Amino acid sequence: MEIHTCPYAIDPTGRDVHAEAAMLRARGHATQVQLPGGVIAWMITGYTLIKRLLTDPRVSRDSYQHWPAWENGEGELAKTWSLAIWVADRNMMTAYGTEHSRLRKLVVKAFNARSTAVLRPRVEQITADLLDDMAEAGRYGRPVDLRASFAYALPTQVISELLGIPEDLRPTLLRLVHGIFDTTLTPEEAEANVVALYDTMATLLEIKRADPGEDLTTSLITVREGGDGLTERELIDTLLLAFTAGHETTVNLLDHAVYAMLTQPDQLAMVRSGEATWEDVTEETLRWQAPLVNMPLRFAVEDIEIDDDVTIPAGDPILVSFGAAGRTARRG
């Protein structure tokens, strides 16, 4: 892949994310890139460096506190940047230090290993039904779209049920969430998408407040109304985080894993013979094809020396590349 600009402008279509990451890694494990909309960030592509920075308290996800260019969400970027929603929302994903612990603790009250374990029989039922439907659709050798009929259908149904999203609201919400991940939208399109998304979330809360259910949305409304300090914005953004993180990643993992098994029969044979487990398939797929390739954005709280030649100055954005981390030779 040729380098046309310096810093290199990330391809917003994501046509070949691994070739792009490999080319950038050749420039160094921390190198400057240009994101859609012209924002310059440090892209981190080395496994060891990513591991180090993910646990470094000098790295924050809070744009309001640690990204001067964000101007507290009141400046030009908030109005015109097509990726603004990635740093603008107010939930644990964009919180720092004690704020992160506060938001996470409030969510864990309603959403934890125990509450998700209860879902297992339902997930198994949905899976079995979808597989039956696929078998039926594929009778007499007819082709079946794996992504549409299984990889996408399973996680979206599970997370929608977990959150108690009414069926007629699901297609709209899913379409608007995909808009968040569409890095080719113009600033106007992205803004319209965000407005529609928050309108739809307001409708969801209205419905659930009028008609509570046994679901995560109702539980979080209860947490908010219990006076524990969860604001309305944090409530909405936390629900959005759970809905989005709860399916975009899993859809990609399922797609990639099945594709890998079908295109590498020797690997499938290892699983079938018991030489490797299905857990190995999951772990290896996560490494080989990270469902979330680049994660916007983190910020340097103070100057961070990477090596003798590179220091990330305080206030600079950082883009962690989970996709690149999984493919770093010898975990460099």
- Binding stretches for ligand HEM (CB under 6 A): 92-93, 104, 159, 241-242, 245-246, 249-250, 253, 286, 291-292, 295, 320, 322
Cis bond before residue 297 (omega within 30° of 0): yes
Decide whether 27 or 100 has the Cβ nearer to ligand HEM.
100
Residue 123: Cβ within 10 Å count: 16
Longest dimension (CA), the chain: 63
Decide whether 250 or 328 has the Cβ nearer to ligand HEM.
250
Task: Confirm if 26 and 329 have CB atoms less than 8 A apart.
Answer: no
Decide whether 185 or 295 has the Cβ nearer to ligand HEM.
295
Decide whether 134 or 245 has the Cβ nearer to ligand HEM.
245
Shortest Cβ 159–ligand HEM spacing (Å): 6
d(CA 186, CA 154): 31
Residue 310: Cβ within 10 Å count: 14
Shortest Cβ 160–ligand HEM spacing (Å): 11
Task: Confirm if 150 and 254 have CB atoms less than 8 A apart.
Answer: yes
d(CA 244, CA 164): 14
Residue whose Cβ sits closest to ligand HEM: 246
d(CA 283, CA 287): 6
- Residue 259: name the closest of 269, 268, 247 by CA: 268
d(CA 208, CA 191): 26
Shortest Cβ 72–ligand HEM spacing (Å): 21
Residue 140: Cβ within 10 Å count: 4
First to last CA, the chain: 22
Decide whether 80 or 249 has the Cβ nearer to ligand HEM.
249
Shortest Cβ 241–ligand HEM spacing (Å): 5
Q: Between β-strands 8-9 and 30-34, what pairing exists: parallel, antiparallel or unpaired?
A: parallel
Shortest Cβ 106–ligand HEM spacing (Å): 12
- Bridge partners (DSSP) listed for residue 59: 300
Shortest Cβ 223–ligand HEM spacing (Å): 15
Q: What secondary structure letter does DSSP report for 23? A: H
Q: What secondary structure letter does DSSP report for 42? A: E
Determine the residue type at 193: N
Shortest Cβ 215–ligand HEM spacing (Å): 13
- Bridge partners (DSSP) listed for residue 43: 31, 319
Decide whether 266 or 279 has the Cβ nearer to ligand HEM.
279
Shortest Cβ 288–ligand HEM spacing (Å): 12
Decide whether 79 or 122 has the Cβ nearer to ligand HEM.
122
Decide whether 160 or 210 has the Cβ nearer to ligand HEM.
160
Decide whether 65 or 80 has the Cβ nearer to ligand HEM.
65
Shortest Cβ 92–ligand HEM spacing (Å): 4
- Bridge partners (DSSP) listed for residue 230: none
